[in-house]
Amino acid sequence: MIRVLLVDDQPLIRSGFRALLDIEDDIEVVAEAGDGHAAVELARRHLPDIALVDIRMPLVDGIEATRRIAADPTLADVHVVILTNYGLDEYVFDALRAGAGGFLVKDILPEDFLHAVRVAARGDALLAPAITRKLIDRYVDRLPRPPSEALGGLTHREREAVALVAKGLSNHEIADRMVISPVTAKTHVNRAMSKLGARDRAQLVVIAYESGLAG
């Protein structure tokens, strides 16, 4: 069962998403919140698999709520997905840097929304390659490049795997490119995430572009 926390300051939006989720046998909405502060408290109480978080809310916005969830070790298994009306903007990028595992535009088709929830529950980033490139290309120039020693602990194969993650490839696709098994590809990616302090693949993509590994 996929446990979901819905966070949006508009009750009608929450009701719409809940109606879609409640009819699915493998998904359960465990709580709803109207602001980021309540979202963090409910995440700690219910430990959902996914928190669907509106990016712009009163009191505490989605970016700060994401940052607090990502910083709490007890919430390490909570995957934050940002909900936005605005598509690609700097707030989405800030949310990814804060620890979000991806983002969805609110006018998404119902079937695509349900698929995205299941993808996020597996821990995969909700970042299609084309969207990733547009997002990063638009805002990466504003970011400070991390010191070179930050990447010094990566092996050559781990660096190669990170570059392929930044292109939007799955572990199976990375395995094909590197001529290794999917298990080995996953190991390279997970070790790179651990060494670079990336919470998930979305943050690994951001680091790859910030460091120049993505080309």
Query: Strand, coil or helix: what is 82?
Result: strand
Quickly tell me which residue has 């995430």 as its tokens: 193
Residue 34 has a CB neighbour count (10 Å cut-off) of: 18
**Per this entry, what is the length of the chain?**
215
DSSP state of 85: S
Predicted TM-score of the model (pTM): 0.71
Per-residue pLDDT of the chain (215 residues; tens, 9 = 90+): 999 999 999 999 999 999 999 999 999 999 999 999 999 999 999 999 999 999 889 889 999 999 999 999 999 889 999 888 766 567 777 887 788 888 888 888 898 889 889 888 877 666 655 556 666 666 555 555 555 666 788 999 999 999 998 877 778 889 999 999 989 998 999 999 888 888 777 778 878 877 878 76
DSSP state of 198: -
